[in-house]
Amino acid sequence: MNWQFWKKSTKEKKDEPKSKAREWWDAILFAVVAATLIRWLIMEAYTIPTPSMENSLLVGDFLFVSKFHYGTRTTTTPLQIPLTHQKIWFTNIPSYLEWIKLPQYRLPGISEVKREDVVVFNVPPTGLNDGKEYPVDLKTNYIKRCVGIPGDTLSIRDKQVYINGAPENNPPEMQYSYLVTSDGPINQRNLEKLELGPEDYQVYGRQADGKFVYMMWLTQKKADEIKELTYIKSIEVEKRVDEDGTIPYSTYYDWSGGTESKKYYRWSTDNFGPLWIPKEGATLAINDSTLALYGTTIKLYDHNKDVKIENGKLIIDGQEVKEYTFKQNYYFMMGDNRHNSLDSRFWGFVPEDHIVGKAFFIWLSIDKNSSFVNKIRWSRFFKLIK
């Protein structure tokens, strides 16, 4: 005799249908877990908010960034709301807690960062992260082109990048700023014909002779096209030279401790270096000159706990260091819009542990300045990023 007749059979329990609420919850949970794993391990979606990479990448481009090319990083802050970065959506509330902090590792990738790669990375300086010391993997994301890899010696002479003494390949859509003088104001219709949006020019105003002056960020091809227009009187590339010898990146990245940089290095954005890029395992002699360039990197980014720079001396764990061996690789990044990019010339090297992934392809592009009909840039759909 069945003495447990009042209990439902296992089969009956299995056949019991799920409620609609339970089905929705299961579907949402599965989607969040799957999206989180894909975002962490394989690819993540980004959008281009600034013109620093024009005309290679345009404001309004939506792209996928490959994590598996250089290897996925493990997170240092596991207590984080999925699918967020620094803050909870539409708020200023942090999306993570630092109650648990883990060491960071990188899983094996299929390639290393190479020169000419377009790379997404966490920008190092605190000044570019809202003045806050975020965990490395939660720092603000930047996208630039790698122009120098570990062990390279980089120079810029009259705007041309040289690596180890040889000229580096220039991106085909590279831009510089040009001073453009016209008969009068250029009307909106002509600017649209030239495919120039608000981010591509600034109006300097009318001169005493009645002519108008513009600052425009242009490719060489576009500059040659504009030069042929009847209402254009002159066009010339702007030369960026700091006459007082001020290092152009000192605003955000204290390479030197202030005046020491000027003592040794009188560089500008168009004439820069030579600068050696640190490589893991390479040893550097420490003196006033080298501390002016590498002191902050050693202190903030090379995983040292107690570092002081005093009177031209490097002191680690209370001991003066005469030679220093780097613990990780570093990279030099620049925007293709060379005169409108806040990059390594201004704030320094990108540490290897700040590398996020390789920009892979554009899946959508929206021109916010165009009419509704022309809002979508159809020609950029699924364009590989080179």
Residues 304 and 347 in one domain: no
pLDDT confidence of residue 264? 59
Q: Which of 291, 308, 327 is the last residue of a domain?
A: 327
Q: How far apart are CA 366 and CA 178, in angstroms?
A: 26
Q: Which of 312, 327, 342 is the last residue of a domain?
A: 327
Residues 66 and 138 in one domain: yes
| Single-letter amino acid code for the residue at 330 | Y
* Domain-located, residue 107: yes
Q: CB 208: neighbour CB atoms within 10 A?
A: 5
Number of structural domains (the chain) is: 3
Angle at 321 between CA 315 and CA 322, to 5 degrees: 140
Helix or strand run (H / E) with residue 189: helix 188-193
Residues 47 and 143 in one domain: yes
The low-confidence residues of the chain, meaning pLDDT below 70, are: 1-16, 241-265
37-84: pLDDT as tens digits: 877 888 899 999 999 999 999 999 999 999 999 999 999 999 999 889
* Domain-located, residue 12: no
| Single-letter amino acid code for the residue at 105 | Y
Residues 296 and 265 in one domain: yes
* Domain-located, residue 171: no
Residues 338 and 352 in one domain: yes
Residues 131 and 206 in one domain: no
For residue 200, the domain's CATH number is 3.30.70
Q: CB 180: neighbour CB atoms within 10 A?
A: 23
Domain of residue 52 covers 18-152+332-386
Provide the annotated active-site residues: 52, 144
Residues 254 and 358 in one domain: no
* Domain-located, residue 138: yes
* Domain-located, residue 8: no
Do the Cβ atoms of 253 and 125 come closer than 8 Å? yes
Q: How far apart are CA 333 and CA 144, in angstroms?
A: 6
Q: How far apart are CA 144 and CA 120, in angstroms?
A: 7
Residues 41 and 144 in one domain: yes
DSSP assignment string, 224-261: HHHHTSTTEEEEEEPP---TT---TTTTT--SSSSHHH
370-379: pLDDT as tens digits: 777 778 999 9
* Domain-located, residue 166: no
Q: CB 347: neighbour CB atoms within 10 A?
A: 23
* Domain-located, residue 13: no
Residues 95 and 186 in one domain: no
Q: Which pTM value belongs to this model? A: 0.88
* Domain-located, residue 6: no
